[in-house]
Amino acid sequence: MTDLNRRRFLEDSMFAAAAAVAAGSVTQALGAEEAAPQSTSPIEKLGVAIIGAGGRGGDHINNFASRQDVEVLYVCDADLRRAEGRAKEVTKKQGREPKVVQDMRQVFDDKSVDLISTATPNHWHALTAIWAMQAGKDVYVEKPVSHNVSEGRRMVEAARKYNKICQTGTQSRSNAGMKAMIDYLHAGKIGEVTLARGLCYKPRGSIGPREDYSSRMPAHCNYDLWCGPAPLDPLSRKNLHYDWHWVWSTGNGDLGNQGIHQMDLCRWGLGVDNLGRGVVSYGGRLGYEDAGETANTQVSIHDYGDKTLVFEVRGLRTDKLKGADVGNIFQGSKGYLVMTSYSSGAAFDPEGNMIEKFQGGGDHYGNFLNAVRSRKVDELNADILEGHLSSALCHLANISYRLGEKVSVEEVKARLGDSSENQETFGRFVAHLNDNKVNLEGTPLNFGLQLAINPETESFVNNSQADAMLTREYRAPYVVPAAGQV
């Protein structure tokens, strides 16, 4: 295949799969996964605390406060006004007012709380979940489950040690359409799959100039609690909320934001249950200068020996793929399979004829509640171990990226060697930047360190600088326990 043909292949297949699904009449007819049976007995109601009441916390509330078999007892947010706003929504839905608190530790002390559902920023996920499990609660934790590799493994340790149910918020894992596609891949229906691509082409604009915005911090937000394990740095971006995704001390870029969903599907589809043998990542924060630090344009290549996982993040516009801008492509020896969303996709033969299409949703929160009641970890669709492994792939790629050096476009091309896949991906990367009129003169790109990984120890091979980035310096008392100390 020529580079141009490959480029067209990727775009055409994303379109074809999206169009096939939009046209309806799935050939693999799938209903939603069985919804969790809801008990109506008040005695059996599970007490829930929602921690983090932003955009996603609202979704948690929508779900839990609408169910018959749980009661939302608390809404907790470091920004009190946000918690109060969401608490009103809870009251409206369930007819009973939840308590509003700013400090999650008050929730953990309450024996009537059975489980916590957390949608804080990423830098708080691990500590929230570990504290909750130590206090005897089951946990639904948003993705990425961790802010660094070590945190994820500590969460797995805590879940096993305290015998707790811990579900990761990668809801695709409960969707019947996704499960059917994974089964299809694992049954060898498109032959041997050696390449999985994850695509996250979501436009992300500038977050405004870097300045000291501390004086604008609202009085109703406890910034010390908000920062928690992260340094208590002056606020250097306009918006405290959400834009933390683009700052390394709190977020993980779009790789760990939208991208983790598709990263998880790549890993699930390839059937690999470790961190691989190596990683390299390149890209940049391109097209504008702002207070953000993470890459907005990034390619990460994970080496699994006989399999490869390639992930592309694009934060600038990709007009050609409008409407089909996140997804996965699995390349098999007898065809390929395209996932277009959280629940749908299509399989094609090598000539591009569609052979199967898939669609079907599910109830991820319900799956969590079922496992909470049965106490069977293996009933979870997204146990914390899966969340850890997939989140860690994002972190490993970001470590490579952050340890890289600024180089020219020609130098990146040279360093990628003669792999036709790597060159094709890079060709599309450059074309995308040209389409967005990014100036590629000089040394605009960051080419990450090629890092070898020991999957047994979940650490790097002979690179202490990279190893140091597997964890962080914690700010007491917000300290995630070290290995063996959860």
Residues engaged in binding ligand NAD (CB under 6 A): 51-57, 76-79, 82, 104, 119-122, 124, 142-143, 169, 171, 225-226, 228, 241-242, 257
Closest contact distance (angstroms) between CB of 483 and ligand NAD is: 24
Shortest separation between residue 195's beta carbon and ligand NAD, angstroms = 26
- Are 396 and 266 spatial neighbours (Cβ–Cβ below 8 Å)? no
Least distance from ligand NAD to the Cβ atom of residue 123, Å? 8
Cα separation, 168 vs 383, whole angstroms: 6
Please identify, using beta-carbon distances, which residue of 56 and 99 lies nearer to ligand NAD: 56
Quote the least distance from Cβ 221 to ligand NAD, whole Å.
Answer: 7
Q: How far is the CB of 106 from ligand NAD (least distance, A)?
A: 11
Q: State the minimum distance, in angstroms, from the CB of residue 281 to ligand NAD.
A: 20
As to burial, measured by CB atoms within 10 angstroms (0-12 exposed, 13-18 middle, 19+ buried), residue 323 is: exposed
| Residue (53 or 384) nearer to ligand NAD, CB | 53
CB nearer to ligand NAD: pick between 220 and 413: 220
Task: Decide whether 118 or 308 has the Cβ nearer to ligand NAD.
Answer: 118
CB 172, min distance to ligand NAD, A: 9
Q: Is 268 in a helix, a strand, or coil? A: helix
Instruction: For 208-244, give one letter per residue: b (16+ CB within 10 A) or e.
Output: eeeeebeeeeeeebebebbbbbbeeeebebeebeebb
Calpha distance 479→406 (Å, rounded)? 34
CB-nearer residue toward ligand NAD: 120 or 297 = 120
d(CA 244, CA 222): 16
Whether residue 334 contacts residue 466, with contact meaning beta carbons closer than 8 Å, is answered with no
Omega before residue 444 within 30° of 0, cis: no
Nearer to ligand NAD, 122 or 367 (CB): 122
- Max CA separation in the chain (angstroms): 68
- Spatial CB neighbours of 125, under 8 Å, sequence gap ≥ 6: 118, 141, 142, 144, 145, 146, 147, 151
CB nearer to ligand NAD: pick between 169 and 335:
169
Whose Cβ is closer to ligand NAD: residue 55's or residue 305's? 55
Question: Could you tell me the two tokens for 29?
Answer: 């007819």
Please tell me the number of Cα atoms within 13 Å of 50 on its side-chain side. Answer: 32
CB of 53 to ligand NAD, least distance (A): 5
Closest CB to ligand NAD among 7 and 220?
A: 220
Residue type, 193: V
CB closest to ligand NAD, residue no: 54
State the minimum distance, in angstroms, from the CB of residue 57 to ligand NAD: 6
Handedness of CA 159, 163, 164, 165 (dihedral sign): positive
According to DSSP, the residues that pair with 118 across neighbouring strands are 51, 141
